[in-house]
Amino acid sequence: MAEKTWLSSAEVAQLLMATPLSVCEWVQQGRLHAALDAADEQRFQLQDIHRFARESQLLLTRPERERLRVLVADADPAAARILLGLLDSLAEGLEARAAHNAFDAGCMMHSFRPDVVLLDLQLSQHDGFEICRRIKANPASQGVKVIAMSGRADRDMAQRARMAGAEACIAKPLQTRHLFEALGLRFEPLGSTDPSC
Q: How much is the pLDDT for 197?
A: 33
178 pLDDT band (50/70/90 cuts)? Answer: confident
* CATH 3.40.50.2300 boundaries in the chain: 68-183
Please, are residues 181 and 160 in contact by the beta-carbon 8 Å criterion? no
Q: Give me the mean pLDDT over the 153-166 stretch.
A: 86
The DSSP symbol for 175 reads P
Q: pTM (2 decimals)? A: 0.63
Please, are residues 53 and 70 in contact by the beta-carbon 8 Å criterion? no
Q: Is 90 exceeded by the pLDDT of residue 73?
A: yes
CATH architecture designation of domain 6-56: Orthogonal Bundle (1.10)
Average pLDDT, the chain: 80
Q: Report which residue type is found at 126.
A: H
Q: Is 50 exceeded by the pLDDT of residue 195?
A: no
Q: How much is the pLDDT for 64?
A: 46
DSSP string, 38-82: TTS-EEEEHHHHHHHHHHHTPPPPPPTTSPEEEEEE-S-HHHHHH
Residue 12 or 97, more confident: 97
Domain 68-183: which topology?
A: Rossmann fold (3.40.50)
Q: How much is the pLDDT for 97?
A: 93
Q: Is 70 exceeded by the pLDDT of residue 149?
A: yes
Q: How much is the pLDDT for 118?
A: 94
Give the lowest-confidence range in 7-16, 63-72, 188-197. 188-197
Give the lowest-confidence range in 48-52, 63-67, 100-104. 63-67
